[in-house]
């Protein structure tokens, strides 16, 4: 049995996939940090007993958007993992 050697095109395709993975992780990090900061501060205020309706009105939809971003990122990472096998 002979093992085919990876061609240059396959190697470039792998590099592009890895570059896209790093880009996705960077975007998730840059976008996610402000989301986490706002949600964390809101939770901190709620647990300390300072409930502000305006803050909750901002945090509730923000939480849904953040969860959507995490789900989309998880699916993208899953596709990457499945395509690399």
Q: Are 80 and 21 in contact (CB under 8 A)?
A: yes
* φ and ψ of 80, to 5 deg: -60, -45
Distance between CA 23 and CA 38 in Å, rounded?
A: 24
In a domain, residue 46? The reply is yes
Total domain count, the chain: 1
- Tell me, yes or no, whether 3 lies in a domain: no
pLDDT at position 65:
94
Q: Decide if 57 is inside a domain.
A: yes
Residue 5 lies in a domain: no
> Tens digit of pLDDT for each residue in 24-39?
889 989 999 999 999 9
Tell whether 7 is covered by a domain.
Answer: no
Global pTM exceeds 0.75: no
Question: Domain containing 70: what range?
Answer: 24-83
Low-confidence ranges of the chain (pLDDT < 70): 1-12, 84-85
């Amino acid at each position: 049995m002979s093992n085919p050697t990876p061609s240059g095109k396959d190697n470039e395709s792998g590099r592009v996939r890895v570059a896209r993975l790093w880009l996705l992780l960077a975007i998730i990090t840059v976008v996610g940090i402000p989301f986490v900061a706002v949600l964390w501060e809101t939770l901190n205020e709620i647990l300390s007993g300072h409930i502000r309706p305006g803050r909750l009105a901002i945090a509730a939809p923000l939480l849904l958007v953040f969860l959507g971003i995490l789900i989309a990122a998880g699916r993208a990472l899953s596709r990457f993992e499945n395509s690399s096998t």
